[in-house]
A = this chain, B = another copy of it.
Amino acid sequence: MIERLNEKIKKTGAPIVVGLDPTLAFVPKFIQDKAFEEFGQTLEGAGEAIWQFNKAIVDAVYDLIPAVKPQVAMYEQFGIPGLIAFKKTIDYCHEKGLIVIGDVKRGDIGSTCEAYAAGHIGKVTIGDKSYCPFDEDFVTVNPYLGSDGIKPFLKACKENDRGIFVLVKTSNPSSGELQDLTTKAEKTIYETVGAMVDQWGSELLHGDYSDVGAVVGATYPEMGAALRKVMPKACILVPGYGAQGGKGADLVHFFNVDGLGAIINSSRGIIAAYKNEKYASYGEAAFADASRAAVLDMKEDIASALAK
């Protein structure tokens, strides 16, 4: 799967993933009103509103980018109807030729971990039939439980040509509370996990890159540079650009010299661009055009940083 992602990055010239993380506060009133008219102010109404919002944004940006990253929490908050919107979004993005990174941050052990892998990037068998329930191309995975929590995902990656991004150094202010602790082996926890990612990924190499990638926050550029060396074959999924404070110039060292090896996520900065002063002239009605403009600006910001 990583070679498909890299191909699409090269084709679009945009190492960018749009985070489809809708909250109702981002959804223009006219979309909410229409959804609530049909379904009431219910979970179903909210599910319909975020789905229509996503659809409009995908229609406006799909030709510019290789991938999207729906954050499942934003759907799970609306219960079953929210998860129906999550699934519709995945399927629609596939129709549009986009790679889908399910930001699910799952992590468990044994048969439970197998179940997560089957549900998101694998197949489940029911009698004589088999199904791909959520059918993402990549998912994010939490490493706290050690390799027992990763190996079932590796197996699913192999069997179904999918990929994972393992949380290594997250973008949030408190990520250091555990991740930055230094062990007696003189390695931080994030370096330790980075080395594991490199090892797990060695089983799933396709050319210079592995189906096992890593999440490293844009907000920690020095650590990104260090981790780039620890896991040379891993594609780094980089959250924290834009709303969380990361800038194009911070991102240079997340990439390899071939210009690949990193994909930068922006969520609010793209999907709620119309609420940003810079794109306010689009107005609520043209919110999706504002998102397109924000993608083009982000592409330019990253390209010019990489060109230096």
Contacts and interface: CB of A to CB of B under 8 A. Distances in A.
Interface residues of A, number: 73
A304 interface: no
A41 B148 contact: no
B192 A112 contact: no
A283 interface: no
Interface string A123-141: 0111111010110000000
A212 to B, nearest CB: 16
Contacts of A144: 142-144, 167, 170, 178-179
B113 A73 contact: yes
A192 B181 contact: yes
A280 to B, nearest CB: 21
Contacts of A78: 119, 124, 126, 133
B116 A73 contact: yes
Given A80-B83, A126-B41, A146-B179, A112 B21 contact: yes
Interface stretch (A3-11, A42-50, A59-67, A291-299): A42-50
Contacts of A97: none
A148 B41 CA distance: 30
Contact of A172 (B84, B129, B148): B148
A127 B39 CA distance: 12
Interface of A: 21, 23-24, 32, 36, 41-43, 45-46, 71, 73-74, 76-80, 82-84, 87, 105-113, 115-116, 118-120, 124-129, 131, 133-134, 142-149, 167, 170-179, 181-185, 189, 192-193, 196
